[in-house]
């Protein structure tokens, strides 16, 4: 699209009108769009100078969570903020515009991004384009659905525990979670979820993934996590040659995988060997994932309590149970009584996890796991059991220890679906989900590759090799 615009073969206005027409036709069945700015986008298409911009005139949507654009509603999937309009744009959005993108609106997400599916009670559920009885995934489910349905060629997304990679797996897309510090943050928040949450996009081609990463990256010396820039040669010319890849064929509790997943891993292993790589099957994960997830939920609860303090200050009143979903209320309550010294210990543990994974990657270039452990779930499939929901609704009545256990129980079904995606968020490593398999010869199944911090070049090189060999099964236009 951008090349055609730069060559004068098509106008930005034509691209925008085509995307809007697709959105008007397909979104009623998807429910992927929260709000739009079509009139302003049309004006930009006519008035902006797109010469020499890498994504000249390309239509895009941003996520309705942490990707504020001045003048556009920013609800975070919540009833509390359902009418909030952003007063200024974050640096990421400004950079997207500077690259030539024309932003059409924002995409549906679960309330405050807490789930691995998109089913906000305020904005509704996002349907998987391939099967409307199933969820498109979360928390970037709206973005994934629009790309998979062919409304836009890529869409902005973010990942705090797998929220790019999970919907990429369900929708048959490429989902890269960059290293901590790779993508610009600010101007008001520089350490989303203590650096666990990062921004990027869901894409359909390795070319677009590379081009976006190279042009969007920044070494922000003013931020808490500055990272040296990747060179053009590293992004576009690195070759995946003779990599040593660890393959993990069990879940986080050490239980064997389903037959379908074992077949998917076997096929991926065979493809890797054909491409000239060494694959070593390992019996156990290098970290105690139960401890890792306990620390992850502790952080999540603490950050949620802090977030609501800020919201209360902005709206001038205390928030109540009626302001949010039951699951959000439980996380909020769990964070109210946490001790600062315990949070300090958790963050220290994060650093040690990073050290352990650094040592792991001195032996192995990459770690391979399934991105998700089943096909996209049916709507309601991951809802906690009624007795758990009843306790969550009254979370304020429990001790802090019991509240944290409730949060664990609340996410039990969801964690079983993607047990290994949050690790890269805590350690700051890059990870990518590639569409390499189909379940039941229909539903996409992503394979996750994780590299050492700062080594997106290896992930992109491997993705390029898979794409060149015709092994990526990107799904598009599925409505």
Write down the catalytic residue from 74, 120, 163, 433.
163
Q: What is the DSSP string of 111-157?
A: GGG-SSS-EETTTEE-EETTEEEEE--SSSHHHHHHHHHTSSS-EEE
Residue pointed to by tokens 């502790």: 298
Catalytic residue status for 82: no
Q: Strand, helix or coil at 450?
A: strand
Give the separation between CA 356 and CA 339, rounded to whole angstroms: 26
What are the residues facing 438 on neighbouring strands?
Answer: 444
Write down the catalytic residue from 74, 76, 139, 179.
139
In angstroms, the Cα distances linking 177 to 47, 209, 255, 328 are 33, 11, 26, 24
Catalytic residue status for 139: yes
Write down the catalytic residue from 63, 269, 375, 453.
63
User: Which pair of structure tokens corresponds to residue 381?
Assistant: 């499939």
In angstroms, the Cα distances linking 88 to 91, 186, 188, 189, 301 are 10, 11, 10, 13, 27
Length of the chain: 479
Give the separation between CA 175 and CA 169, rounded to whole angstroms: 8
Catalytic residue status for 189: no
What are the residues facing 155 on neighbouring strands?
Answer: 202
Q: Residue 39: CB partners within 8 Å, gap ≥ 6?
A: none
| Counts of helices then strands in the chain (DSSP H, E) | 17, 15
Q: Catalytic amino acids?
A: 63, 139, 163
């Amino acid at each position: 699209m951008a090349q055609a615009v730069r060559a004068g073969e098509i106008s930005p206005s034509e691209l925008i009108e085509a995307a809007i027409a697709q959105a008007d036709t397909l979104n009623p069945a998807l429910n992927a769009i929260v709000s739009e700015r079509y009139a302003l986008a049309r004006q930009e298409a006519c008035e902006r100078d797109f010469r020499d911009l890498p994504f000249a005139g390309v239509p895009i949507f941003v996520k309705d969570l942490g990707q504020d654009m001045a003048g556009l509603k920013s609800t975070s999937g919540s009833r509390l903020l359902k009418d909030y309009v952003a007063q200024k744009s974050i640096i990421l959005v400004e950079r997207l515009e500077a690259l030539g993108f024309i932003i059409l609106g924002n995409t549906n997400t679960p309330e405050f991004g807490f789930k691995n599916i998109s089913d906000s009670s305020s904005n509704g559920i996002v349907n998987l384009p391939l099967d409307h009885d199933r969820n498109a995934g979360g928390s970037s489910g709206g973005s994934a659905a629009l790309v998979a349905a062919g409304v836009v060629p890529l869409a902005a997304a973010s990942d705090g525990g797998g929220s790019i990679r999970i919907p990429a797996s369900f929708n048959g897309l490429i989902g890269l979670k960059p290293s901590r510090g790779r993508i610009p943050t600010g101007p008001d928040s520089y350490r989303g979820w203590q650096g666990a949450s990062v921004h990027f996009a869901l894409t359909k081609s390795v070319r677009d993934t590379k081009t976006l990463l190279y042009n969007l990256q920044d070494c922000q010396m003013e931020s808490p996590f500055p990272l040296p820039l990747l060179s053009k040669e590293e992004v576009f010319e690195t070759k995946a040659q003779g990599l040593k890849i660890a393959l993990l064929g069990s879940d986080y509790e050490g239980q064997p995988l389903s037959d379908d997943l074992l077949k998917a891993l076997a096929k991926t292993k065979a493809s890797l060997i054909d491409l000239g790589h060494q694959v070593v099957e390992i019996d156990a994960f290098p970290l105690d994932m139960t401890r890792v997830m306990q620390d992850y939920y502790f952080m999540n609860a603490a950050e949620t309590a802090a977030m609501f303090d800020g919201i209360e200050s902005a709206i001038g009143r205390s928030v109540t149970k009626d302001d949010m979903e039951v699951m959000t209320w439980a996380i909020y309550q769990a964070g109210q009584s946490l001790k600062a010294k315990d949070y300090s210990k958790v963050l220290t543990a994060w650093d040690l996890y990073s050290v352990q994974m650094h040592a792991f990657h001195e032996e192995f270039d990459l770690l391979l796991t399934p991105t998700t452990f089943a096909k996209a779930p049916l709507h309601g499939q991951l809802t906690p059991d009624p007795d758990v929901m009843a306790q969550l609704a009254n979370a304020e009545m429990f001790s802090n220890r019991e509240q944290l256990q409730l949060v664990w129980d609340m996410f039990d079904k969801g964690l079983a679906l993607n047990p290994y995606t949050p690790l890269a968020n805590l350690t700051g490593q890059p990870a990518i989900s590639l569409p390499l398999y189909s379940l039941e010869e229909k539903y996409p199944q992503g394979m996750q590759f994780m590299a050492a911090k700062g080594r997106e070049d290896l992930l992109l090189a491997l993705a390029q090799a898979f794409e060149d060999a015709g092994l990526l099964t990107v799904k598009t236009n599925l409505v």
